[in-house]
Chains A and B, each alone.
Chain A
Amino acid sequence: MKILVPVKRVVDYNVKVRVKTDGSGIETSGVKMSMNPFDEIAVEEAVRLKEKGVATEIVAVSMGVPQCAETIRTALAMGADRGILVETDADLQPLAVAKLLKAIADQEKPQIIILGKQAIDDDMSATGQMLAALLGWSQGTFASKVAVEGESLTVTREVDGGLETVSLTLPAIITTDLRLNEPRYASLPNIMKARKKPIANMKPADLGVDTTPRLTVLKVEEPPKRKAGQKVGSVAELVSKLKTEAKVI
């Protein structure tokens, strides 16, 4: 079976992001970019399914500026077999990404598509569910455990009160939560090997998708800053202040 893994290039999770002074967005120039951490978990899960003999081929897809090819290379170094880059300078919102991925899925015919549950830049948490809808597939979101059994897929999901297990008919979408696995670091030989793996290049128009954004960002502001607090010297002082000053206990 073939597995498709979409990977997004985002500002590295360790970077302290800054709002641009003109309020037009977040400063991303000269900032370290990496694969979205949840997508790393998605790649890792696909590679593990291949190592178990469940998957036969893993295709990593990324969309956006030409440098997204680097994100695909990371996936290839982790164990994906080939890549597809949909190159565009346009702002791609989840609906457009889901439509592009549907067009690719129609060509590639994977049985499973594994995505991160959320990108840490726009925090939308939408693309996987939207892709499942457009394909008419089942979805197992926020997965912490995945097992393939014949034509069905058992997914344990992290939900608000604990865990929920669902059984999905294949083909299906999985979105990854933090506890699904711990992604591997690519070894140097695998990074070298990844350079030789193919990446196909296409444009949104090749896939017949209109990517016009539906949301316009009017402005981006800094969140309200919290006022500087005070240090207390003892537990007794803390309790006293919470009672008499903050009045919360």
Chain B
Amino acid sequence: MLIDQRIEQFVKRAGRRPRILVSSMGKKRHDQNTRLLATIFAETGFDVDISPLHQTPRRTARMAIENDVHIICFLSPVNKHNELVTELAKALKAENAENIRIVIGGAIPRSDYKFLYGAGVDLILNSVPADKGEINKLINLFEKYGNGNLYGNSRIH
């Protein structure tokens, strides 16, 4: 099925577009790849929230909850991904918001994949900008967790 159609279907079932927070965590002077990713997501048909630069996991979690996104996506600064993901998952859990899923991209060695999936990551983007295959995987994730039920598969409190 075409990406457009999949999104239309999602909207019909969930009552809104897939909403994703593109967050910028860690120390970076500028973040063009993050902006590029946000643009691609919006062009795809997602509602995209962008965070300010230099966010901490806790701030990211708060913004994701306040804007009520389905997914948080961020590009990890080198060698920070394990730490950031762990912290982010913890921050979401502390607010009863585990239903918000985590997607990351950036330079991530294969050897860390197992740890990341275990720590709460649902999808690792191999290419930035994301290609069609990865957009489809993202939509799979939206469908799994945002499908008509506001709470997805997670518990309420």
* Same assembly: no
